[in-house]
Chains A and B, each alone.
Chain A
Amino acid sequence: MVRTVALNLPMSKADALSLRTGDIVTMTGSIVTARDRVHKFLVEQKPLPDELPFGLSGTVLYHCGPIMKKTENGFSVVAAGPTTSQRVEMYESDVIRQYGLRGIMGKGGMGEKTRQALIDNGCVYLNAIGGAAVYLADRIKNVLGVWKLEEFGTAEAMWHLEVVDFPAVVTMDCHGNDMHRVLEAESYKKFLELTGAQKH
């Protein structure tokens, strides 16, 4: 049976340390989106945390390129599911360290470099439900701001979003546990049973 944890953002290091792989969390507070281009920019240009229009310390960075709609006084979120996290593997450990994030959210899990950064910095990886874009958009109550919209476009900009009861599963925790890795090993064992193939 899995445990469900209600989390307020920004979260403390103690909050992050208390989470374990398999926990279902529901988050309330503010998060930011970032995908390929923002990551590349943060790592190459190294802007200081206070040079960004909103603070990232203690918050969750969401791998997501949303569909947004322009409204009279800003934006509303039409659809906002997770994108594949592995694409920013080469950048993420630096971003976690530099900006004090407590959570990285996306889909599919991340690699060894990020796993180590999660341990070193007290941060967790959260797997959001891929494709549940409308359900998740409805848990975003407010668009608080946006950065790099002109330069990177809607999908690649950094959006600052207020979420209420936003669900995800902890699949990599601060203690080195990695659910993706465990499941991959188990499925590989099954694959060998079904094929009799050698390690490749």
Chain B
Amino acid sequence: MLKLRDGIVELYRKVATSIPPDVEEALKAALSREQEGSAAKSALAIILENIRVARETSRPICQDTGVPVFYLQVPSGLSQLDLRETVIEATRLATEKVPLRANAVDVISEKNSGDNTGDGFPVIYLEETGGSTLTIDLMLKGGGSENVGQLYKLPAPELMAQRDLDGVRRCVLDAVQKAQGKGCPPYVIGVGIGASKDQVTRLSKAQLMRRLSDTNKSEELAIFEKRLLEEVNELGIGPHGLGGRTTALGVKIGVNHRHPASYFVDISMSCWADRRGRLIW
């Protein structure tokens, strides 16, 4: 487990200091789309320069290194308790070594634990998988973009949103319109639809782990994701809410079966620094 611990520290370093290639490519494409001499273009140029310098000097892309969210696929026979311990130990080490900003605050005493560990911090999801490979996915989820996420219960009369995909579309547009530039756009938008509140919030966040090039396995949802991306970009909020053509880089949707009486839609947004990475062990 010691070697695994060090592997996770390195995963932290990689995820905090570099951005996935698909996101960087999408930001470059966005730069070429924005108008010459606009604030949006200059903001994107600074973002891309920031990504380059962070990678080269191995420093965190953003000072908010976020809430670490782990998704572990665990082969049968490996102790989930031990794995949890190892992730927590690696988090303490990474906070000091990378360094990460200490972000775990006790709700009662308001004290910062100083090492990014605490009750439910980091977030760890474990799931048993077939085969013998342990897969560890890590997302560093910034606070600014987390704060602009929204949960909807359909129908929502004020949005004229019924219990159908058009209702979902209205929720997504509403959430982004309300977010404006507060969560550091261009955003990556994750949508979760299903029967229960806890399930859809987890589902929407898990969508942020998908590559931007990843196509939804449902053809209907794949088409819907594309349409939503186009419409979100029509809002004109732009990079950093300074106006422009690129408000989002991607929209990804995950669905579960719903209860006849319930239709929950959750929207998670990532800032442009959609920091995610994988360790295969």
**Interface set of A (CB-CB < 8 Å, partner B):** 1-2, 22, 24, 64-67, 69, 78-81, 83-84, 86, 107-109, 127, 129-138, 153-155, 167, 169, 171, 179-180, 183-184, 186-188, 190-191, 194-198, 200
Contact = CB atoms under 8 A, between A and B. Distances in A.
A86 B148 CA distance: 12
B76 interface: no
A134 B59 contact: yes
A179 B174 CA distance: 20
A196 B162 CA distance: 13
Interface string B143-175: 010010000000000111100000001100110
Contacts of A184: 177, 180
Given A2-B39, A109-B181, A195-B170, A78 B242 contact: no
B242 A133 contact: no
Interface residues of B, number: 53
Contacts of B144: 83-84, 107-108, 130
B20 interface: no
B177 A187 contact: yes
Interface in B163-208: 169-170, 173-174, 177, 180-182, 184
Main SS of chain A's interface residues? mixed
Given A83-B144, A84-B144, A197 B159 contact: yes
Given A22-B39, A109-B181, A135-B53, A183 B99 contact: no
B273 interface: yes
Contact of B53 (A131, A134, A167, A198): A134
B38 interface: yes
Contact of A107 (B54, B112, B184): B184
B50 A135 contact: yes
A65 B170 CA distance: 35
Contacts of B112: 153
B249 interface: no
Contacts of A79: 59-63, 101
Contact of A131 (B38, B174, B184, B237): B184
Contacts of B216: none
Contacts of A137: 59, 63
A200 B244 CA distance: 25
B37 to A, nearest CB: 4
Given A79-B60, A130-B271, A183-B236, A169 B182 contact: no
B241 A196 contact: no
B39 A134 contact: no
B99 A78 contact: yes
B49 A191 contact: no
A134 B272 CA distance: 15
Contact of A80 (B63, B158, B159, B160): B63
28 contacts: A1-B37, A2-B37, A78-B59, A78-B63, A79-B61, A81-B64, A86-B182, A107-B181, A108-B241, A109-B180, A127-B240, A127-B241, A127-B242, A129-B46, A130-B144, A130-B184, A130-B240, A131-B142, A133-B54, A135-B50, A179-B242, A186-B236, A187-B177, A188-B177, A191-B235, A195-B174, A197-B161, A200-B158
Given A67-B101, A132-B47, 15 more contacts: A2-B37, A2-B38, A2-B42, A78-B59, A131-B62, A131-B142, A131-B273, A137-B63, A167-B42, A169-B242, A186-B236, A188-B177, A191-B174, A195-B170, A197-B160
Nearest to B242: A169
B116 to A, nearest CB: 12
A187 B39 contact: no
Interface in B76-94: none
* Residue of A80, A130, A186, A195 ringed by the most chain B CB atoms within 10 A: A130
Contacts of B273: 131
Contacts of B60: 67, 78-79, 133-134
A86 B181 CA distance: 11
